[in-house]
Amino acid sequence: METKVVRHLDNEKNSNEKELEQESGQGYIKIKKFYFVMLLFVVVIAAAGITTIAFSFGEEPAVTVNNQRDEFNKLYTAYDTLMDDYYKDLTSEDLVNGAIDGMFTALDDPYSDYMNEEEAASFQESISSSFEGIGAEIQEQDDSIVVVSPIKGSPAEKAGIKPNDKILTVDGKSLQGMSSSEAVLLIRGEKGTKVDLEIERAGASDPLKITITRDTIPIETVYGEMEKDKIAKIQITSFSEHTASELVEILNKYQEEGMEGIVLDLRHNPGGILEEVKKIADLFVPNGEIIYQIEHKNGTVDKVTSQNSNNMDIPLVVLIDGGSASASEILAGAVNQSADVPLVGVKSFGKGTVQRAESFTDGSNIKYTIDKWLTPNGSWIHEKGIEPTYKVELPSYASLTMINPESKLKKGSNSEEVKIAQEMLKALGYEIDNTNGYFDESTEKATKEFQKKEKLKEDGVITDKTTTQLMNKLSEKLQKSDTQMNKAIEVLKKEMEK
- Over residues 101-117, the mean pLDDT reads 91
Is 422 catalytic? The answer is no
Say yes or no to pLDDT of 60 above 50: no
- 269 and 226 within one domain: yes
Instruction: Note the pLDDT tens digit of each residue in 151-200.
Output: 878 899 888 898 889 999 999 999 998 888 889 889 988 999 999 999 99
Portion of the chain with pLDDT greater than 70, in percent: 84
**Domain membership flag for residue 85:** no
- 317 and 184 within one domain: no
Q: Whose CA is closest to 7, among 367, 324, 221, 272?
A: 272
Q: Which of 197, 218, 239 corresponds to the end of one domain? A: 218
- Over residues 376-392, the mean pLDDT reads 98
**Domain membership flag for residue 270:** yes
Q: Indicate which residue of 139, 348, 355, 413 is catalytic.
A: 355
CATH number of domain containing 290: 3.90.226.10
Strand partners, 218: 130
Q: How many helices (H) and strands (E) does the chain have?
A: 13, 23
Q: Indicate which residue of 238, 326, 359, 451 is catalytic.
A: 326
- 255 and 198 within one domain: no
- H or E element, residue 284: helix 274-284
Say yes or no to pLDDT of 346 above 50: yes
pTM: 0.73
Max mean pLDDT among 139-148, 183-192, 271-280, 294-303 falls in 294-303
Looking at the structure of the chain, the number of domains it has is 3
- 347 and 238 within one domain: yes
**Domain membership flag for residue 238:** yes
- 228 and 214 within one domain: no
- 185 and 146 within one domain: yes
- 374 and 326 within one domain: yes
- 325 and 208 within one domain: no
**Domain membership flag for residue 16:** no
Q: Indicate which residue of 18, 152, 233, 351 is catalytic.
A: 351
- 238 and 209 within one domain: no
**Domain membership flag for residue 143:** yes
Q: Which of 198, 218, 238 corresponds to the end of one domain? A: 218
3-class secondary structure per residue, 92-105 = HHHHHHHHHHHHHH
Could you list the beta-strand ranges (E) of 73-214. Answer: 113-115, 130-133, 136-141, 144-150, 166-170, 173-174, 194-200, 208-213
CATH number of domain containing 135: 2.30.42.10
- 263 and 230 within one domain: yes
The C-alpha atoms of residue 247 and residue 298 are separated, in whole angstroms, by 37
**Domain membership flag for residue 191:** yes
- 233 and 361 within one domain: yes
Give the mean pLDDT of the chain. 84
Instruction: Note the pLDDT tens digit of each residue in 281-318.
Output: 999 999 999 999 999 999 999 999 999 877 788 999 99
Say yes or no to pLDDT of 324 above 70: yes
The C-alpha atoms of residue 459 and residue 235 are separated, in whole angstroms, by 40
Cα four-point dihedral sign 401, 405, 409, 415: negative
CATH number of domain containing 413: 1.10.101.10
Strands 390-391 and 343-345: parallel
Instruction: Note the pLDDT tens digit of each residue in 430-456.
Output: 999 999 999 999 999 999 999 999 999
**Domain membership flag for residue 488:** no
Range of 245's domain? Answer: 222-395
**Domain membership flag for residue 228:** yes
Q: Which of 395, 420, 439 corresponds to the end of one domain? A: 395
Cα four-point dihedral sign 199, 201, 204, 205: positive
Q: Whose CA is closest to 403, among 202, 199, 159?
A: 159
Q: Which amino acid is at 492?
A: L
Is 326 catalytic? The answer is yes
Cβ–Cβ under 8 Å, residues 423 and 400: yes
- 432 and 416 within one domain: yes
Would you place residue 150 in the very low, low, confident or very high pLDDT band (cuts 50, 70, 90)?
Answer: confident
Is 92 catalytic? The answer is no
